[in-house]
């Protein structure tokens, strides 16, 4: 049964829920602001971008990251729920990795934040496994025919993070300058990182 609330945009439903929780004294506005700030600043794609930029500029860190993603990510202070076992795979000119969770929406929250709605969509989850090149193209990523695509299926035991290729022309950029270039979609594998 569909209610009028089901037809509201998610942002309005979220606002209404927040208002209801605060009016009933279950949470304070400060607590809600803290949750939001935590996911915007401490948990999310910015963390993953810092991991990728560090790997691009520090070969020893990159080696540790590819050998034990969870431990290397913890070196930078990122960890927690949904980040207990993260495996990092590297994209190269001949191999492209993309992640999916075919069962639900397992996702490395500490480095990518909350999963986007398309990642949880049953069509994405089913089609990415069957026809990854087609789905990637539909999402705006056209790969050459000679690039091998590997689909990594995240689960409650293993969550995958893609180490995207560093774009040509960024060799002189510092770690801090690289961070803003790196997107969540590139770390999922549905996009590449573009040079500025």
Which of the residues are catalytic? 101, 104-106
Residues 4-29 as b/e (b if ≥16 CB within 10 A, e otherwise) read eeeeeeeeeeeeeebeeeeeeeeeee
How many other C-beta atoms lie within 10 A of the C-beta of residue 76?
15
Query: Which tokens belong to 108?
Result: 């490395």
Q: DSSP for 64-93?
A: HHHH-HHHHHHHTT---TT-SSEEEEE--S
**SS3 state of residue 150:** strand
| Run of H or E residues at 111 | helix 109-112
Q: 129-136 long-range contacts, Cβ below 8 Å, gap at least 24?
A: 129/100, 129/102, 129/153, 132/98, 136/96, 136/98, 136/190
Distance CA 158, CA 151 (A): 14
State the sign of the Cα–Cα–Cα–Cα dihedral 106, 109, 112, 113: positive
**SS3 state of residue 26:** coil
């Amino acid at each position: 049964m569909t209610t009028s609330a089901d037809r509201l945009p998610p942002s309005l439903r979220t606002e209404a829920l927040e208002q209801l929780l605060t009016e009933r004294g279950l949470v304070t506005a400060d607590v809600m602001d803290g949750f939001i700030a935590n996911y915007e600043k401490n948990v999310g794609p910015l963390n993953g971008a810092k991991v990728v930029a560090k790997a691009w500029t520090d070969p020893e860190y990159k080696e540790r990251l590819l050998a034990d993603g969870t431990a290397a990510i913890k070196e930078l202070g990122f960890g927690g729920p949904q980040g207990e076992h993260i495996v990092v795979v590297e994209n190269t000119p001949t191999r492209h990795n993309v992640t999916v969770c075919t069962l639900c929406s397992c996702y490395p929250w500490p480095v990518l934040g909350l999963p986007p709605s398309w990642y949880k969509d049953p069509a994405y989850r089913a089609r990415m496994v069957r026809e990854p090149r087609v789905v990637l193209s539909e999402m705006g990523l056209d790969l050459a025919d000679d690039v091998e695509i590997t689909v990594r299926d995240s689960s409650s035991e293993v969550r995958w993070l893609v180490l995207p290729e560093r774009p040509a022309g960024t060799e002189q950029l510092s770690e801090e300058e690289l961070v803003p270039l790196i997107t969540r979609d590139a770390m999922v594998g549905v996009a590449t990182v573009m040079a500025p």
